[in-house]
């Protein structure tokens, strides 16, 4: 398949062909009108050598055969054949490229026969057989060497060009892959921020609502309790506001450099929930292994979301049992609370954000999570977070 070139390159080839014709014109004028006509033919072949290499080769063959039929001497414009052969290898399609190589061999045979045999006979020379054989051998070797060398130079240029094109395509593919990976990372980070936003807002609002309800009932009989509740509401609201601002800053700048909750923050979380009126009883067993940051965040967020659900959907007059079972392979989180009768099961729309979000966090940390609403009126949340991602829970 022929490689099409731009109009600018075609114009450049036409100009160069014109310059070549002007350089050869004085010698062609010495030969006569036929040589001037042949010069025009060879210049035309050079003008389209990159635009239509096949036509350029055909025109050059037509000019060469006409030159031999007219018994013209070798002229400077015959050098145009080298440019044509070069272009068949550098710019021609598969068929034209190999036709160019074949033309180099056949052209060398024709040129040798014409110069070593036909021209001496026409001119009346009668060299002996040894001289004729020697001249034929020298002309053939010189002709095929020059013609094949021109074709080979075009093939090398083509190989270099193709190699550069392959590298360019690889670079484009790498950039596209990096862009896709970047977009995936950004999307994952946005999802993480959305989960954190939900956890922070849901937990904080649950505490605020519980404290507000308590303060409303205690305002008349126990004003001091109402004041304490209002103080808790203010503190939780301020903390939630700071967390939301921090998450929004992350979302705006595509960064994840803000501090994340760790296991040491569980104590403060339990104090907030207890201050909201939820009786949380912690049972922690075993020694804590070294957990990665992702695993610590997962444990914290799962406990936070579980307590928030207990505060919003559970019977706050009954205790909530939180168990943490540590071993060298990770931690098992068990949270049990009493459900209210008016609360739907955990697979309903009321839990469409909390439980799926917790399950996703556990899976991303390499663990698992189950949420079961038993027939005994209890809601059980069980999660297993390994010490390292990829460990079997």
For 25-76, write each residue's pLDDT tens digit: 998 898 889 999 999 999 999 999 998 999 999 999 999 999 999 888 888 9
State which of 40-49, 128-137, 184-193, 335-344 shows the largest mean pLDDT.
40-49
From 26-35, 109-118, 270-279, 291-300, the region with the lowest mean pLDDT: 291-300
* H helical segments located in the chain: 7-31, 33-47, 53-69, 80-91, 94-113, 119-122, 129-218, 223-253, 266-275, 293-313, 354-364
Mean pLDDT along residues 100-114:
90
Two tokens at 28? 């062609």
Highest mean pLDDT among 165-169, 228-232, 312-316: 165-169
Distance of CA 224 to CAs 216, 229, 231, 297, Å? 12, 9, 11, 36
Q: What is the mean pLDDT of residues 379-387?
A: 91
Confidence check: pLDDT of 331 > 90: yes
Domain range summary for the chain, segments of one domain joined by +: 7-175, 279-393
Question: Interior CA angle at 97 toward 94 and 101, to 5°?
Answer: 140
Per the listing, tokens 């053939």 go with 140
What CATH number labels 279-393? Answer: 3.30.565.10
Q: Quick one: pLDDT at residue 189?
A: 61
**Residues with Cβ within 8 Å of residue 210, at least 6 apart in sequence:** 276, 277, 278, 311, 316
pLDDT of residue 3: 53
What is the tens place of the pLDDT at every residue in 174-229? 888 877 776 766 566 667 666 666 666 666 667 777 767 777 676 667 777 766 77
User: What residues are paired with 41 via a beta bridge?
Assistant: none
What tokens does 127 get? 């060299």
**Across 147-165, average pLDDT:** 92
Q: What is the pLDDT of residue 122?
A: 81
What is the reported pLDDT for 247? 56
Show Cβ contacts of residue 343 under 8 Å, excluding neighbours closer than 6 positions. Answer: 313, 314, 350
pTM: 0.49
Confidence grade of residue 256 (pLDDT, cut at 50, 70, 90): very low
Q: What is the pLDDT of residue 254?
A: 46
Quote the percentage of the chain above a pLDDT of 90: 35
Mean pLDDT of all residues in 370-387: 89
User: What span, in angstroms and rounded, lies between the C-alpha atoms of 106 and 112?
Assistant: 10
Q: How far apart are CA 250 and CA 247, in angstroms?
A: 5
- Say how far apart CA 367 and CA 357 lie, in whole Å: 13
Q: For the chain, what is the mean pLDDT?
A: 81
CA–CA gap between residue 286 and residue 261 (Å, rounded): 21
> Residue 333: which pLDDT band, with cuts at 50, 70 and 90?
very high
Q: What mean pLDDT comes out for the span 275-304?
A: 86
Residue 133 CB neighbours (<10 A): 12
């Amino acid at each position: 398949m022929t490689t099409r070139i731009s109009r600018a390159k075609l114009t450049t080839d036409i100009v160069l062909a014109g310059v070549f014709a002007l350089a050869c014109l004085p010698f062609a004028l010495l030969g006569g009108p036929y040589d001037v006509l042949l010069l025009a033919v060879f210049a035309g072949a050079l003008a389209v050598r990159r635009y239509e290499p096949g036509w350029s080769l055909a025109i050059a063959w037509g000019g060469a055969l006409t030159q031999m039929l007219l018994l013209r001497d070798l002229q400077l414009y015959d050098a145009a054949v080298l440019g044509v052969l070069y272009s068949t290898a550098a710019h021609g399609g598969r068929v034209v490229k190999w036709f160019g190589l074949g033309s180099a061999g056949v052209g060398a045979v024709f040129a040798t026969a014409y110069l070593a045999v036909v021209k001496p006979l026409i001119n009346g020379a009668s060299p002996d057989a040894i001289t004729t054989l020697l001249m034929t051998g020298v002309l053939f070797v010189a002709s095929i060497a020059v013609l094949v060398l021109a074709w080979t130079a075009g093939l090398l240029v083509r190989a270099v060009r193709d190699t550069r094109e392959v590298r360019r395509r690889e670079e484009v593919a790498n950039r596209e892959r990096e862009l896709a990976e970047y977009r995936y990372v950004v999307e994952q980070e946005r999802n993480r921020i959305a989960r954190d936003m939900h956890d922070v807002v849901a937990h904080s609002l649950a505490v605020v609502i519980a404290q507000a309800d308590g303060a409303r009932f205690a305002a008349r009989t126990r004003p001091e309790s109402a004041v304490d509740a209002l103080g808790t509401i203010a503190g939780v609201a301020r903390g939630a506001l700071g967390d939301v601002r921090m998450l929004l800053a992350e979302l705006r700048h595509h960064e994840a450099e803000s501090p994340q909750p760790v296991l040491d923050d569980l104590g403060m979380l339990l104090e907030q929930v207890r201050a909201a009126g939820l009786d949380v009883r912690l049972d922690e067993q075993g020694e804590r292994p070294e957990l990665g940051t992702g695993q610590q965040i997962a444990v914290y967020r799962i406990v936070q979301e579980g307590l928030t659900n207990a505060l919003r959907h559970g019977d706050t007059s009954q205790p909530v049992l939180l168990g943490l079972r540590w071993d060298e392979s990770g931690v098992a989180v068990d949270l049990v609370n009493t459900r209210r009768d008016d609360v739907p099961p955990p697979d309903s729309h009321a839990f469409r954000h909390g439980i799926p979000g917790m399950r996703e966090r556990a899976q991303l940390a390499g663990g698992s999570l189950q949420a079961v609403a038993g027939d005994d009126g209890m809601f059980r949340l069980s999660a297993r977070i390994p010490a390292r991602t990829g460990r079997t829970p």
